[in-house]
Chain A
C-alpha cells in the first residue's frame, strides 16, 4: 500500500516537476481520448504538440498564431496570479476581458471616422478602466459586505455576455453591416487597428506588452513590498493583518490588477486578431487563463511558458479538427484534463509518497492481521 507523509517544507524540485508530470499524464490521457474517438493517438499527439512548431508547411501560419493566442492568456493569467497567491478567487476574468473590450471599442467607435494616432492608446486606456470597473464590483462587495467573490465574479461573466449581445445588436451595431449583430470592423480604420508590427510575425503591440508585463510582474512579486504582502496574505490572513498589511487594500489591488490586464487584453484582441465585436468574440480565454495561472505555478516566468503551451493546444486542436476531423470540444476536454492532473500532481509538492511495507520497520502491523494473512 502507498502511504502519504507530510513534508516539513514544500519540495522545490516538485514545484517544477509537478507541471511537467501533469503534462506527461495529459499527453497519455489525451492519446487515450483520441483513441476512443477512433483516431490514431500517436498521430493526434504529433499534430497537436509537434506539427504547429516544426512542420515546415504549417509554421508560417502556426508560429505567429502561437504568439497571438498566448498573449491574452498570459496577460490574464499574470493578473489572476496575484489574487490566487493572496487567496482571492477571481474566476470572472472572462467578464473583465469582455467588458474591457466593450469599453475600449465603444470609445473607438464613438470617435469614428476620426483618424488620429492617439485613438488606439485611448481605447486601451478605456479598456483598462472598463476591466477595472467590472472587477471592482466583486472587490468592493467582498471588502464592504464580505460577499463571496467567487460567485459574484462568475455571475458577472454571464452578465457581461448579455451586455455584449445587447450592445452589438443595439448601439454598437455596424451601420453598414446588413443588420448582422456585429460592430464595425476595426481593421478598416487604421487608427483603431491593432496591426501586425512586422508582417508575417503575428506580433502586435499586445504581445510586446504581455512580454514586458512578465518581467514587471516578476519584479513586483519577488522584489516589491506589494508582492510580499500578497504572498503573506496567502500564507495567513491573520498573520498578514498583524504584520500591518492592509488586507482590504490588497484585495482591491489584486482584483483591480486582474481587471486592468484582462481589460487591456480584451482591447488588444478585439482591435487585432478578432477585428470586430460580435457575440462570438469571447472564446473563453478568461477561463483558460485560470489553467495557465495554475500550470505556471502562479509564477510569471512559469505563466509565460504555460501560456505558450496552452496556445499550442489551441492551435494543435484546430489542426486536429482540420486534418483528423476531430471534434472541437476534444481540446477543451484536453485542457480540463490537464488541470485535473495538475491539482493531483500538487500532492507531490507537500507530501512524500511512501511504500508502506507490511511488517516494515517503522509501522509494525497489528498481530491479528498478520495471522489472518497466513491462515488462508
Chain B
C-alpha cells in the first residue's frame, strides 16, 4: 500500500478537472433540454458522434478548434433528428432517445473506421506569465485547455440564463406546463427544438473533449457510458447547473482515483476497480431518490410528455 503515496495530489486534482469536463458539458446540455420538458436519452449517441466528428475534422484540418466546432455541429445535427421525431412526429421520447443512441454508436464507428490509430493535433493550454508558474495553484487552476474553462463558464451562463433572463423563463415555462405556455403565445415546439439542438451541441463538444484531450485517440465505443452518467448527473443535481459542477467533479474524482489506484497497483483487480464510476452513479441515484420531495419540486412537470396542439 505504500505506493499510494506516489499519487501526487497536484496532478490528481488537475486530472479530476479534465476527467469531469466531458460529462459536465453533456450534462449541462441535457439539463437545458430537460428544463424545456424533453427527456433526451440519446446523450450517449450524441457524445460519440461529437467524439468522432471532432476527431476526424481535427485530424483532417490539423486544427483542434475546427474539430470542436465540427463536434458541436455533428451533435446538434443528430439532436435535430431527435427533435424532429419527438416534436413534429410526436414519437415516444424514451424510444426515440434509445434510437438516437443506437444509431449514433453505429454511425460513429462507421465514420471513425479510417481514423483508428491516428493521433489528433495537440490542444493548446493556457499559459499565463505569472499565474501558471505558481507552485500548486498554477498547475491545478491555470494550466488547462480552453474547453475546460468554457465548460465552467457555460455552467455559470446556463444558471444565469435559466434564472435571470426572459428567454430562460419561457424555456422553464414550456417545461413546466406546455399548454399554458402555448396559450399565452410562446412556441413550445421552437423552444424545445432550440433546447434540444443546444443540448446536442454541448454533448458533441463533451464527446470531442474525450477524443481530443482526455484520451486522446479514437476507438469504437470510447464514450463507454459517459452519456448515461451525464443523464444521471442531471437527476443528481436536481436540475441545478451549479450543483452539476460539483456532481461532475465527484464523478471525475471517482474515475481518476480508480485509475490512479490501478496504476499504483493496490491489490484489487483492474476490472473490479473500473466498475467504480458506474456503481457510484447507482449509489448516488439511490441517495437522491431518497429525498423525493425535493426532487419532485425541481423536476420539470412536463418532462417526457409530447405536446400536441389540439385546437
Chain A contact residues, CB within 8 Å of chain B? 4, 6, 89, 91, 137, 141, 145-148, 150-152, 154-159, 162-163, 165-166, 169-170, 287, 290-291, 294, 327-337, 339-340, 342-344, 346-347, 350-351
- The answer to whether A158 touches B278 (Cβ under 8 A) is yes
| B286–A145 touching, CB < 8 Å | yes
B310 touches A336 (CB 8 A): no
Given A151-B232, A332-B102, A339-B99, A163:B110 Cβ within 8 A: no
Select which of B98, B272, B292 is within 8 A of A162 by beta carbon.
B272
In angstroms, Cα B235 to Cα A347, docked, is 29
Q: How far is the CA of A197 from the CA of B279 in the complex (A)?
A: 41
Stretch at the interface among B84-92, B167-175, B203-211: B84-92
Q: Are B278 and A156 in contact (CB under 8 A)?
A: yes
Which B residues lie within 8 Å of A342 (CB)?
99
List 10 tightest A-B contacts by C-beta distance, closest first: A336-B103, A332-B106, A166-B271, A329-B109, A339-B99, A343-B91, A333-B106, A329-B110, A336-B102, A155-B278
Cβ–Cβ contact B95 & A339, under 8 A: yes
Q: Measured between alpha carbons, how far is A158 from B110 in the docked complex, in Å? A: 22
Q: Given the complex, which residues of A lie within 8 Å of B96, measured CB to CB?
A: 340, 343
- B residues 95-150 near A (Cβ < 8 Å) are 95-96, 98-100, 102-107, 109-110, 113
Chain B nearest CB from A347 CB (Å) reads: 5
Inter-chain contacts of A344 with B (CB < 8 A): 85, 89, 91
* Segment with Cβ contacts to A, from B2-10, B27-35, B151-159, B223-231: B223-231
- Asked if B282 CB lies within 8 Å of chain A CBs, one says yes
Q: In the complex, are the beta carbons of B103 and A333 less than 8 A apart?
A: yes
Residue pair B278, A343 in contact (C-beta under 8 Å):
no
Contacts of B266 in A (CB 8 A): none
Q: How far is the CA of A331 from the CA of B308 in the complex (A)?
A: 34
Nearest chain A CB to B261 CB, angstrom units: 15
CA distance A252 to B168 in the complex (A): 40
**What residues of A have a CB within 8 angstroms of the CB of B91 in the complex?**
343-344, 346-347
A interface secondary structure, majority: helix
Q: A337-B103, A347-B90 are in contact. List 11 more A-B contacts (CB 8 A).
A: A91-B98, A148-B232, A151-B231, A151-B282, A156-B282, A157-B225, A158-B224, A162-B275, A162-B278, A335-B102, A342-B99
B99–A332 touching, CB < 8 Å? no
CB distance from B42 to the nearest CB of A (A): 10
A347–B89 contact, CB under 8 A?
A: yes
Which B residues from 250 to 273 make CB contacts under 8 A with A?
269-272
Instruction: Point out the residues of chain A lying under 8 angstroms from B285, CB to CB.
Output: 141, 147-148, 151-152
A169 touching B271, Cβ below 8 Å: yes
State whether B232 touches A339 (Cβ < 8 A). Answer: no
CB under 8 Å from chain A, chain B span 262-308: 269-272, 274-275, 278-279, 281-282, 285-286, 289-290, 292, 308
Q: Which residues of B contact A336 (CB under 8 A)?
A: 99, 102-107
Residues A146 and B272 in contact, CB atoms below 8 Å apart: no
Q: How long is the Cα–Cα vector from A159 to B269 in the complex, in angstroms? A: 14
Would you call B194 an interface residue if the criterion is a C-beta within 8 Å of the partner chain's C-beta atoms? no
Do the beta carbons of A150 and B41 come within 8 Å of each other? Answer: yes
A6 near B99: Cβ-Cβ < 8 Å: no
Contacts of A335 in B (CB 8 A): 102, 106
Closest to A294 in B: B95
**Residues of chain B with a CB closer than 8 A to A137's CB:** 282
- Residues from chain A with a CB closer than 8 A to the CB of B290 are 145
Q: Which of B99, B225, B231 contacts A343 (CB 8 A)?
A: B99
Q: How far is the CA of A148 from the CA of B91 in the complex (A)?
A: 21
| Known A-B contacts A91-B98, A339-B98, A343-B91; A329 and B286 likewise in contact (beta carbons under 8 Å) | no
